[in-house]
Amino acid sequence: MFSMKVKYALKALLYLARQQDQGPTLIADIALSENIPKKFLEAILLELRSSGILHNRKGKGGGYMLARPVDALSVGQIVEIFDGPMMAPVCVTYSAVLNCHMCDQAHQCGLKLIMEQVRNVVTTLLADTKLADILSQIEAARNANVVMFNI
């Protein structure tokens, strides 16, 4: 559903979010920890920086860090940076002026009606899901897997 750029960007951002108290993080550290090809990661981080998602500091003690709090960064923003807006079939786009080649009356097409709803729900879910939410879910999953032995 998402490109590798989106997947790697989210992995890198979540890593940076977990490291944010430690200051700037080197690209090499992110690449190694998250198993992302370094050259590919460099391009992704540059795009995130130019989009205002990241700051970078050059020189000794330099690296990348989040430019905004994790509760202000949505998955939808990241998807849109790399993959563009969530799209459905041409006849479902907001600006479509063409009818689907299979429909005589697009306004009555059942597929179009349901796909509009799917697109809207997915777009809203991605916009409403913040990096902070994902971090909380990861932490909850880790805690659920911890077996506690009390005597």
Closest by CA to 34, choosing from 54, 55, 13, 51, is 13
Per-residue pLDDT reduced to its tens digit, 70-124? 999 999 999 999 998 876 656 655 555 455 666 666 667 777 778 888 888 999 9
* Whole-prediction pTM: 0.82
Domains of the chain (ranges; CATH) run: 1-73 (1.10.10.10), 74-129 (no CATH)
DSSP 22: G
Least trusted range by pLDDT, from 9-18, 62-71, 82-91, 128-137? 82-91
Q: CA 83 to CA 33: how far, in whole Å?
A: 24
Task: Please state at what angle helix 38-50 crosses helix 4-19, rounded to 10 degrees.
Answer: 80
